[in-house]
Chain A
């Protein structure tokens, strides 16, 4: 039996990007806030110390700071006819754990989605007719527009110190930026990062091809910066240890660098770490949350009553917690009814690897967001009529690292070991450039999340079950993008290229991307969305659910910029809710 603690105004579940931001904003407005985080506290100085941080084996291979599957994982299968099995070891995606969440180990690529992405269904049907939509799709317009979110994107970018070059300020196209982006009120807070030699070749080739390259917006920041919360960041040193690592330089935007130093000074805030929330408690009629149950580091169970419950865990685990708590109707693909677990989506990765001669790319001098991108083939920035697919991709020539356990490329046809392999590894390390396409994934009836009937976590609760595969629409799109990437790689001067297409079913084994979206989506209709446009549960009005679980489908960009914008957007709504509790949208 859980022991009951004194009530708080707000309980925040998970202390990553979204949890730390909502905690700070609500604590500043005078509320008593407690954040409950299942992993440990993490600080830059101690956990990402410069004497220990640059350790590829410890972090990128053994996953020291990640969620350990032993504590929680999920099961997966490609389609409902199969039996899902647990992801025993992380591969395709890598959820974070502890204070800072995935905001500790991300690369820092911080995008805004395009205006068309927010009304993709309407836009595609208007331009091409309904026949362009793929079979079995659940593609939905977002219930919020780019213009509505713009001030909130701006807010997040200025908190995170993002380095970039605007392409469109108040409708005026800016040279050197992304001409396809939605209008922004002002430029990025810090100038773009420096780029490497690969990016120089890519920029030149893309310009000659009539494309529109620009430095991608980066959370590894180019110059010293102090954000509106008074938190200071230092310039990136291009050390090449971003993704899967904490940053020792205070150069990567994260809750640690951008939010926590301000948050912890709020006397009405407290964090309880190594405590796992197991359930959101509901009132007898199921219409209000009364607080949460959590298990502490000693295995003791506690009830934390609260007036407002903010679900701020990683997207997949938000969905699981809603299912375990009975908030919202679980999605049933057989009947195509229910909302929680609906519209799970992911991303495609395809592209071309170019092998060059007589170059020194120095791949180790890199950063997670270093790279030059182009959006000519993203969203609906190009005519889809000849291609018969929906969606697009951001195409990037990036270099995030040269860490040699995982990065020692060889040309196709090289033996996998022995002296010939060794020679090829030596000769190739400096001479590879990748042109990659990060593509959108639409939502479908057959891609969803629910609870697994067999496998459980150490507390005896069912694991989340993921049923997902790429559909023909995504394969067509990703493989078309791979050809575009190959054209650019060749124009850059590659002597040989290897085209990386999307083949076979989705697999958990190779790392792809930790951009898992959907499952608790926002929408205008409570029969097809778990949350209203303010990220408020349709069913339980004092529960708001942050994160990429809210995306109705996924776009061809990294999600964090949009996650940050939605968080600030929701905070405005929560402030309204606090003045007059109840549903902010009448169904």
Chain B
């Protein structure tokens, strides 16, 4: 699990609750509650950090899927004269690791049926398909469509113009993939690409803080009193991530 633990889940005894229990006076109700009384249950230097993604290989994607995702995210945010795009910023790795965590299974969402066949647009997400299923089925459908209509070539083998044309059609729902909604696949990849390009690099994307440098977001400095004091002036310090920044060495 590359993301945070399931510590909020009701029926999981967590590191937090064990620590809290150890640090606390426990009343003797016998109840399986976390009882807090008389002192605040925290200890110095205790925190709940996320586990940094270690790039290299894929935990969810097959080689073929990864190649297609690489190609797609590389068209959505291309590498150009303004700097690295999504592919070069590690967004495929970001998506891969997200899919192996609680997000990939919609673990925290309400996934009980019945699932309506005809939800109103105002009712939002109503599909039983988890992100993992969306990628697996959607990328297979995309591959089927591409090879059938482009002389045996998969998405990654199309030329950039062909890729852009197909992505545009998918975004608008103007292309039918075999047994999968082109729009659903596009939406999933699009949202995850934006996340991966602009999220903290600790999650595997936004390598070298490329997304933050593009817009000029200074990251997690957490103190901009100097900026507020100088309205309408350019901010010149480089960005900092949860793991610091390369010039600091170490991590």
Contact = CB atoms under 8 A, between A and B. Distances in A.
Interface of A: 3, 5-6, 36, 38-41, 43, 45-47, 49-58, 61-65, 68-71, 73, 76-78, 82-83, 85-89, 91, 97-98, 194-197, 200, 237-241, 248-249, 260-261, 264-265, 267, 269-276, 295-300, 302, 359-362, 364-366, 402-405, 408, 416-419, 421-423, 425-426, 429-430, 454-456, 458, 504-509
A429 B29 CA distance: 55
B11 A88 contact: no
B40 A419 contact: no
Contacts of A249: 222
Given A422-B77, A422-B214, A87 B34 contact: no
A451 to B, nearest CB: 16
14 contacts: A43-B41, A55-B50, A64-B8, A77-B123, A194-B229, A237-B222, A238-B228, A264-B39, A267-B38, A300-B31, A360-B232, A364-B218, A365-B227, A404-B217
Given A51-B49, A87-B110, A248-B222, A507 B121 contact: yes
Contact of A297 (B33, B108, B125): B33
A73 B34 CA distance: 24
A43 B41 CA distance: 8
Contact of A365 (B17, B50, B228): B228
B36 to A, nearest CB: 4
Nearest to B219: A54
Given A85-B126, A239-B222, A297 B120 contact: no
Given A46-B48, A276-B10, A237 B31 contact: no
Contacts of A64: 4, 8
A195 B47 CA distance: 32
Interface string B56-100: 000000000000000000011110101001000000000000000
B222 A364 contact: no
Contact of B200 (A47, A57, A300, A421): A57
A88 B127 CA distance: 9
B125 A89 contact: yes
B76 A417 contact: yes
Interface in B13-36: 13-14, 16-17, 20, 27, 29-36
B245 interface: no
Given A41-B36, A54-B220, A70 B108 contact: yes
A405 to B, nearest CB: 4
A507 B126 CA distance: 13
B10 A425 contact: no
A70 B122 contact: no
Top 9 nearest A-B pairs (CB, nearest first) are A298-B32, A365-B224, A365-B227, A272-B33, A54-B220, A197-B231, A49-B47, A69-B110, A57-B199
Contact of A52 (B14, B31, B50, B212): B50
B42 A46 contact: yes
A82 B7 CA distance: 37
Given A272-B33, A426-B215, A88 B109 contact: yes
A52 B47 contact: yes
B217 to A, nearest CB: 5
Contacts of A40: 7-8, 14, 16-17, 34
Contact of A508 (B35, B122, B195): B122
B238 interface: no
A458 B112 CA distance: 9
Contact of B198 (A5, A56, A276, A298): A56
B128 to A, nearest CB: 9
Nearest to A429: B215
Contacts of B46: 45-46
A417 B44 CA distance: 45
A299 B120 CA distance: 35
Given A69-B108, A91-B124, A295-B10, 18 more contacts: A38-B10, A40-B17, A41-B20, A46-B43, A55-B50, A55-B202, A68-B109, A83-B116, A276-B10, A405-B198, A418-B76, A419-B78, A426-B215, A429-B215, A458-B10, A507-B124, A508-B124, A509-B122
A51 B33 contact: no
Interface string B150-193: 00000000000000100100010000000000000000001000
Contacts of B199: 56-57, 61, 405
